[in-house]
Amino acid sequence: MHWIRGETLGRGGFAFVSKGLIQQEEDGNTNIPSMVAVKSSKSTESKSLVKEKKLLDRFNNCPFIIRCFGDETSQEDGEELYNIFLEYASGGCLADIIIKSAGLPEPLAKNHTRSILMALSHMHALGYVHCDIKPHNILIVKQDHVQEDTAKLADLGSALNMREDEDEDDGGFRGTVLYAAPESIAKQTYVPQSDVWSLGCTVLSMLTGNNSPWKFDRSMKAADVLMKIACSDQIPEMPKKISKEAVDFLRKCFVKDPRSRCTADMLLDHPFVKAAPIAGRCSRRHHHHLASRLSHGISSLVPRCFHHHDSAAVSPV
């Protein structure tokens, strides 16, 4: 595959994202679009990117997760880079759209929420927890064959396989504190319902236009913030000017005990999203509720460290 690296779109802790122009050959792979997003890292620091490519390959049949078209290494400026070729999201990342628009109209928020739920349902059925659901990791893809833009889940660098990755899990914190579920902060515990809490925070951001689902006094210390999210009875504040269906949906996401929190499959039947149009199809017939459920309560202890498993966001691509 011949390609040309274009402008840089974003940088993270270990990787950067560029536009990529694919030079199509007559006998080449016509399944690859002419414009892609190229996510790259030094080959010596590519473990997380290799993992992300592997996961994207497993989820490639879900239209609500960013597609991966392959990988390769390249020699650039005297360094060997590992590159993966991703679906180009010309609409950018949801976080930028939320801030620029000061929030989204509820019908559009419903549509994006349903798309994200479909992606989570697919991941959870295969035994994975995303662990870092937030507007920055949701990309908007403009597609010629559908009228509505499609929200797609991206950045799987923090994802955890509950069935196989126990030996690879270092037990540290994954995700972003302000969007993280109480059990993820208090005990670094990750279950499918942890993604549901984070989804609730994301939906709240869509409806309010705020980049933080929580409100804190500026005088609060970091430990107080962590205690409020992880150990208090408080949940993010509900905005006044949203529908009753939206309030009920959010309250079902913001249940402190993950054992009592709804799953993604349950929420797909909620009135807030049930009537929302979707831009693609992702079969739910093979999905099932995972047998594994969190068996421990939420710890009253603040974790010793809050390391963020850094992965370069694809946004804005």
3-state SS string for 19-38? EEEEECCCCCCCCCCCEEEE
Reduce the DSSP state of residue 299 to 3 states and report it. Answer: coil
CB count within 10 Å of CB 65 equals 27
CA nearest 89: which of 158, 155, 28, 13?
A: 155
**Catalytic positions:** 132
Q: Which residues pair with 141 in a beta bridge?
A: 150
Q: What is the dihedral of CA 29, 35, 39, 41, to 10 degrees?
A: 80
Distance of CA 92 to the CA centre of its chain: 14
Spatial separation of the C-alpha atoms in residues 312 and 109, rounded to whole Å:
25
Helices (H), the chain: 47-58, 94-101, 106-125, 182-187, 192-208, 222-231, 244-253, 264-267, 271-274
